[in-house]
Structure 1
């Protein structure tokens, strides 16, 4: 995900953290021997002896974010999945089995807009939850007909009548009634003029419905069957802004939780949803006055967090850390501080900044830092961001002139691997983007890569340290690229579920965001998305990540067979659309355009690089529009059948010139070879004003390392830059190289042949 600043979207609460090339071209004269025609500037002929040839190789975790600026009702369960950008597709998905995405249930909006009173209630009860979920997206006359106050009042009284005989299951469609009411509040919030105001009549009805449900003893059954209904009902408390009236439900669930809940995802979700009621209750005046009059909920939160610390470090630890956060959030109210402060201090004393209790300590410390910073000495949380950085990110590693890694825990080999992966990606990116250098006024000359040790660590520390939402698979923070001293960075984490294989989740995706923002997109992120560009921003990041690593994007190819979207529709994609459209379909659209209409992409990037967003939009919606639809759908069908075409990798020309050692602008020398311990020498002349010189090696057999010198033949003992990873995929990047001759060599750590060296500037 790419953003210029932390993004807290309405309704993003207590979400789980789910469970984120060298270009090769060929050889020349015999390596390790001096040729008669030496370059004009070397201090001497290429040495005939390369030396020894031994060349050394230098959770489901959920957290509530900081307060949002608007108090909108929560979206549907399926809608909440939209925040899960950049996540892996695996069994760690937050969706409970009964709510997992499936084939769309038959659902006609007219079934709801054409009915009133008891007929409407019966229609809702007879529908599926999947069907009712789709109503969260209603607008216009449909929204008004479905959710005007009279309709909502009928459904609320329908819930009352149903709840009176509720048997602890969803046999009579109780969950659908609750979900319909949630949808109504959500749509009315977003379209108040269309739906109309909600008044005291609905409030009386919704209280009757919720009172009856929570008074029914079966609403406390510990089971999946009840948990699904209960979890939605708890969220409805907040949707209806009845946070104060149902504080007893909050206390009941927190006090009643025990190990019997642990076998039911839905019961755990019901408990966790009480934090939504608390988190958003602070924006309801009646809630604050009610807690001030009876602050016993604070004692309940403290008892839960302190008494269940053994859950920390398990897949249920989020229940404890969220309790601590919501206790700490009450520090914002002066009247409650004398009660809250010692309880908060007590939780800090019972936990630590690192280790198994870190999620609790950090969550509570973040609240003190946000709401009661002046008393930091009392809490022991002064200078929180610096302390966290010192404790959690002790490793700093420089990959070269443009990349710095800060890590929680990485070995030297892992650091080398990550650096090589990003450095080598540079050449691939530039070959696809075909850029001529950074866009105007972009000073993001370096990128800081922050790597946490696991997804849980990212959840625990990412927000407090960098002010980001961590309900995602990583985030790139561009800042203002024109501002002096601005530091571009992305925050990522090791994919612990892949161990013992080491992988930084979404490393190449997020690094593409940095390169794309620097070389393709003028201005900051806000300017970049002034018109719909997300299809490119996320689709291109997916495309480069997968194609550079030569991986098949199976999930996207499966989507291709469905032919869900026209190309024209995808040009309108925003972050409000689901992740499937943003990422998989973005990838498909970008891949198709690069492979089939490269000229259009070149024109488009010309507009993007100049910041001419309106011209780019006209090109996409007018000039291109639907003109490629027939070919697009044919390509999707072929792709789904296994023939997507080759990924875009514009071939470089072979360098010209009689001296086979000479490189040039955007060309390559192929079939290079050398025996163990020897070198293959190359050189090139760079003109004045060159912003960046990139040298890459790839292909062939054996193990060749790449060396560079700006002043004479590059050897293993005379160089300024080198790339010495295992294999032949090496990259060296020189920013602002001096005009004149530059020297490159391939050193045979093991005998190599068929290797290509490419120069780009």
Structure 2
């Protein structure tokens, strides 16, 4: 993640590190909280736009794009793709009760015929056959879908609709599907198909006019719905959204939960017509002329509220209402309707996606008018509704979570507290920077990226097209609250992990103990090699995980060490290159310097801690300069072969002195614990009365040891009260209010291990 030491006073926030790949999650995150799919590295609002320093997004968690929808009213980002391409055409076509095919699926029936012959061939083909036309290109696309061909089929739809019987026995469905395919292919391959003009517009209007005028197009039957659902989508494909608001309105007004599935599909497809319509000519004037359209949409939502579950058509259509306040001409219509919906439906639970998306529209498209909607208090109203689980780890650390269990809260506290100890062992600081009063951190954890995207923006005023956000605030201001806003890594379940937790916590520690002032102060010279490199190094070291990405990069030898001292966030226009240099190469640079030149690191940090940024820069670029480049290249070769080396030993916890090497005491350690695969290394400890919290940790060495605790009897992997079973030897357990007397714990060799360090600490009340 980027330096997270951000001044709240200047609204400076930095997104957190995530994965460089994306997984579409689902339907409804606030539309502009998510980045467009094709803009994975989209930047946050510019300084000019926000009045705040710029924050450059970094790679996201795997879920971070959700459905990737740009804001519906933003024509610069909104795709004009005809809706026909969103799903498999073949699957769509199979919804019809198709007439038998007389021609089979011969492409030449569409590319080698014109006029009335083409219309006959389309009607004679199976729906599956017509559906394959969505995939054609080149000369086939030219022959099948040039304007004259499309106009002929649109005229055929007009003629066939005059006697439309309410089912597909006359092959009206094939004509509709052909037209949808044509608009889609023309959008995708405009140079192949050629332009569409007034000839086709006249014909398609004639075809759609005739279809929607046909009495049986209003039949509430499964058979009619199969054709109607496709005809609704054709409105959008043909960009005729503004002309056909009446049939859309009728469907919304008449719908009941008793309608058959295909008719429900037709209603669901109106969402695309409405949403895309806001960006198309004639649609907004049509809504201005018919205020009843907005009230019909609202009534549709309230009347069918029983269907709302967060991923349903009522929610999706209801969200589109927010576009009314994105257009000045429609604000007066939209405001009372949106106010009613966000007041009527709860902000959390099944209706949360509906209400919070509408909230987003009010905050971003009707700025400064929160009082109109009764939403000005959301930043204080939402947290207790959403973050229902709280744990105070210690006087300096609190976790507020949406769905975490007591054990997960306890484990998170343990993870951060123990990481704190590792950080100070590695850094060997002498305490917080004078004047830094960021003595406590609040960790906010949403259940997954989706919930983060839904609520974090309204609660904390942050962008959420990222993997989390750290807010340092002003570290010199009394009462300032530093906060890391995060989400669980749902894609790793059933394993529990808070995405970026240890990396971000390192930023908090680094800002408090190494980097003078706020974030902007530390950015006057390039410090990113350290800021992000140490966060990556501590995170991987504490979790005892191999940084596979960095090790793979080491083999490439892309950068010299002297070049990495110049790293900034936006080094190049290529976001992937930037991310790799910032994180993987930052990790490699910091690891090398800590292991090979620790005295130089101490000298640089001495400058950083006093805010002598130019002095640190001189040390890095002039005193050190290029003299380590050759050795760094040699080290990269070894690291690429998984021989990256280890830090010089730093131990602040004293060795245990009791003669029995199995026995521990308060705040002591034993080194070189070992056991062969399947065996245990047994230990015990005597606790006085009144112990409030006992923490047992293991770290270092090779192999894979798991930690087990069993109170008053020997601990094994089959007899225990608590366990920690991470990969490697990095294990930790915190036992609250343990019994007085002898307690027992063991390391079980899941894989033979050696060289591990075991530490016990406890506090008394």
**TM-score band, normalised by shorter chain:** 0.5 to 0.7
1:547 to 530, 541, 555: 541
From the superposition, tell whether residues 619 and 395 of structure 1 become closer, same or farther in structure 2 (CA, over 3 Å): same
User: What residue in structure 1 maps to residue 351 of structure 2?
Assistant: 357
Structure 1 residues 407 and 302: alpha-carbon distance in aligned structure 2, compared to 1, 3 A threshold: farther
1:535 counterpart residue number: 529
1:723 corresponds in structure 2 to 695
Secondary structure at the aligned position of 2:743 is classed as strand
- Distance in 2, matches of 1:253 and 1:631, equals 71
Q: CA deviation at 1:673?
A: 7.9
Deviation at 1:354, TM superposition (A): 1.5
The C-alpha deviation readout for 1:686-723, integer Å capped at 9, x for no partner, is: xxxxxxxxx878885668799xxxxxxx9442346543
The answer for the alignment partner of 1:87 in structure 2 is 60
Note closer, same or farther for the CA distance 1:372–1:616 as it changes in structure 2 (3 Å cut).
same
Picking from 503, 509, 516, the partner of 2:510 is 516
Q: Which structure 2 residues correspond to residues 663-742 of structure 1 after superposition, within 5 A?
A: 666-670=652-656, 680-682=664-666, 700=673, 715-719=687-691, 722-723=694-695, 727=708
* Separation of aligned partners in 1, 2:519 and 2:290: 42
1:601 alignment partner in structure 2: 601
The alpha-carbon deviation at position 538 of structure 1 amounts to: 1.6
Q: Which residue of 1 aligns with 2:383?
A: 389
Distance 2:419 2:659 in 1: 24
2:649 is matched with 650
2:493 to 492, 499, 509: 499
Q: How many residues align?
A: 520
Q: Distance in 2 between matches of 1:467 and 1:745?
A: 46
Q: Superposed, which structure 2 residues align to 1:162-173 within 5 Å? A: none
The Cα offsets for residues 14-61 of structure 1, whole Å up to 9 and x where unpaired, read as x99945xxxxxxxxxxxxxxxxxxxxxxxxxxxxxxxxxxxxxxx256
CA distance in 1, matches of 2:322, 2:665: 61
1:185-224 matched pairs, under 5 angstroms? 220-221=183-184
Q: In the alignment, which residue of structure 2 is the partner of 1:478?
A: 472
5+ residue gaps, structure 1, are 20-58, 69-73, 97-165, 175-215, 231-245, 261-266, 282-286, 653-665, 684-694, 707-713, 733-743
Matched, 1:403 2:397: yes
Give the secondary structure class of the aligned counterpart of 2:654.
strand
Deviation at 1:505, TM superposition (A): 1.2
Distance 1:611 1:548, change over 3 A: same
Contact 1:408 1:453 in 2 (8 A): yes
Does 2:481 correspond to 1:469? Answer: no
1:68-101: CA deviation from partner (whole Å, max 9, x where unpaired):
9xxxxx997465399663535x6987899xxxxx
What's 1:438 paired with? 432
Residues of 2 paired with 1:254 and 1:749: CA distance?
76
The TM-score, its normalising length taken from structure 2, stands at 0.56
The answer to whether structure 1 residue 631 and structure 2 residue 603 are counterparts is no
| Superposed displacement of residue 593, structure 1 | 1.7
Matches for 1:253-264 after TM superposition, within 5 Å: none
Equivalent residues in 2 for 1:133-144, closer than 5 Å: none
Q: Distance in 2 between matches of 1:697 and 1:298?
A: 77
Larger radius of gyration: 2
Partner of 1:738: none
Q: Secondary structure at the match of 1:504?
A: coil
Q: Distance in 1 between matches of 2:427 and 2:520?
A: 22
Between 295-304 and 484-493, report the one with greater CA deviation: 295-304
Cα distance in structure 2, aligned partners of 1:609 and 1:171 = 64
Structure 2 Cα separation of the partners of residues 476 and 229 of structure 1 = 49
CA contact (8 A) 1:446 1:487 kept: yes
Cα distance in 2, alignment partners of residues 229 and 453 from structure 1: 47
Distance in 2 between the 1:303 and 1:703 partners? 71
Matching of residues 116-127 of structure 1 within 5 Å: none
Question: Aligned equivalents of 2:444 and 2:562: distance in 1?
Answer: 37
2:614 is matched with: 614
Distance 2:192 2:316 in 1: 19
Paired with 2:689 and 2:192, the residues of 1 have a C-alpha distance of: 71
**Equivalence map 1:152-301=2 (5 Å):** 220-221=183-184, 295=288
C-alpha separation in 1, matches of 2:415 and 2:285: 55
Partner of 1:575: 569
Aligned to 2:350, the other structure's residue is in SS state coil
Distance 1:520 1:300, change over 3 A: farther
The SS at the match of 2:424 is: helix
Per-residue deviation, 1:368: 3.2
Q: Tell me the alpha carbon deviations over residues 565-584 of structure 1, each in whole angstroms, 9 at most, x when there is no partner.
A: 23233223223243222222
- Secondary structure of the structure 2 residue equivalent to 1:398: strand
The whole-number CA distance in structure 2 between the counterparts of 1:556 and 1:253 is 56
- The offset of 1:588, in angstroms, is 1.6
| CA deviation vs aligned residue, 1:195-229 (integer Å, no higher than 9, x gap) | xxxxxxxxxxxxxxxxxxxxx98783179956999
C-alpha distance in 2 between matches for 1:612 and 1:478 = 20
How much has 1:418 moved relative to structure 2? Answer: 0.5
Alpha-carbon distance in 1 for matches of 2:580, 2:471: 22
8 Å contact kept, 2:694–2:761: no
- 2:683·2:744 contact (CA, 8 Å) conserved in 1? yes
Structure 1 residue aligned with 2:334: 340
Contact 2:695 2:732 in 1 (8 A): yes
Highest relative contact order (Cα 8 Å, sep 6+), 1 or 2?
A: 1
Of 217-226 and 427-436, deviating more is: 217-226
Q: Confirm or deny: 8 A CA contact 1:604 1:616 kept in the other structure.
A: yes
Residue aligned with 2:476, SS: coil
Identify if the C-alpha distance between structure 1 residues 592 and 398 changes in structure 2 by more than 3 Å, giving closer, same or farther: same
Q: In structure 1, how many angstroms separate the alpha carbons of the residues matched to 2:308 and 2:186?
A: 20
Partner in structure 1 of residue 81 of structure 2: none
Q: Distance in 2 between matches of 1:522 and 1:446?
A: 17
With over 3 angstroms needed to count, the CA separation of the structure-2 counterparts of 1:376 and 1:756, relative to structure 1, is closer
Mapping of residues 361-372 of structure 1, within 5 Å: 361-368=355-362
Tell me if structure 2 keeps the 8 A contact 1:328–1:368: yes
* SS of structure 2 residue aligned to 1:669: coil
Deviation at 1:356, TM superposition (A): 3.3
Question: Secondary structure at 2:515's aligned position in 1?
Answer: coil
Checking the alignment, whether the CA contact within 8 Å between 2:436 and 2:512 is kept in structure 1 is: yes
Question: Are the structure 2 counterparts of residues 600 and 511 from structure 1 closer, same or farther at C-alpha, using a change threshold of 3 Å?
Answer: same
**Shift, 1:624, TM fit:** 2.8
Moved more, 483-492 or 624-633: 624-633
Matched, 1:585 2:548: no
Residues of 1 paired with 2:665 and 2:189: CA distance?
73
* Structure 2: gaps spanning 5 or more residues: 45-55, 69-132, 142-178, 194-235, 252-260, 263-268, 674-679, 698-706, 710-730, 748-755
Moved more, 338-347 or 448-457: 338-347
Residue 26 of structure 1 corresponds to which residue in structure 2? none
